[in-house]
């Protein structure tokens, strides 16, 4: 397991991740820091409030992205066969086989 040190709002956090995911984790840390920087321009606020507002901003962006994504297509329903039609086709197939067998004997 890899570990990455993230620097968010002047504090260092050691965070574990799967091997190979270090850059992705660093990018997520940068995204959080970016939101914190934008909140700080509005005025002074406490650490917990900064993190809560940053989380809300990210959640709002995720919500907007999911809302804009096309809805998944439903799985097509299995075709239904009319039982009368199925019986008719079976009778015709049986009759065709009888005719073919009679022609072979002749």
Query: What is the distance between the alpha carbons of residues 4 and 47, in angstroms, rounded to a whole number?
Result: 21
> Which of the four pLDDT bands, split at 50, 70 and 90, describes residue 25?
very high
With tokens 């999911």, the residue in question is 66
Strand segments (E) across the chain: 2-8, 11-17
Asked if residue 96 has pLDDT above 80, the reply is: yes
Res 97: pLDDT: 86
More confident: 27 or 106: 27
The predicted-structure confidence for 26-63, as pLDDT tens digits, reads as follows: 999 999 999 999 999 888 788 899 999 999 999 999 99
Res 27: pLDDT: 96
The predicted-structure confidence for 58-78, as pLDDT tens digits, reads as follows: 999 999 999 998 888 888 888
Query: In this structure, are residues 40 and 32 in contact, taking their beta carbons and an 8 Å threshold?
Result: no
Res 87: pLDDT: 87
Res 69: pLDDT: 86
The predicted-structure confidence for 5-20, as pLDDT tens digits, reads as follows: 999 999 999 999 999 9
Query: What are the residue ranges spanned by the domains of the chain?
Result: 2-68
């Amino acid at each position: 397991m890899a570990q990455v040190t993230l620097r968010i709002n002047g504090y260092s956090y050691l965070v574990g991740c799967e091997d190979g995911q270090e850059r992705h984790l660093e990018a997520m840390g940068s995204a959080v820091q970016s939101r914190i920087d934008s909140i700080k321009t509005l005025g002074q606020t406490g650490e917990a409030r900064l993190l809560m507002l940053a989380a809300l901003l990210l959640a709002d962006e995720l919500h907007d992205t999911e809302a804009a994504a096309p809805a998944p297509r439903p799985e097509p329903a299995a075709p239904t066969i009319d039982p009368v039609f199925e019986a008719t086709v079976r009778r015709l197939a049986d009759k065709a086989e009888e005719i073919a067998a009679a022609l072979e004997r002749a």
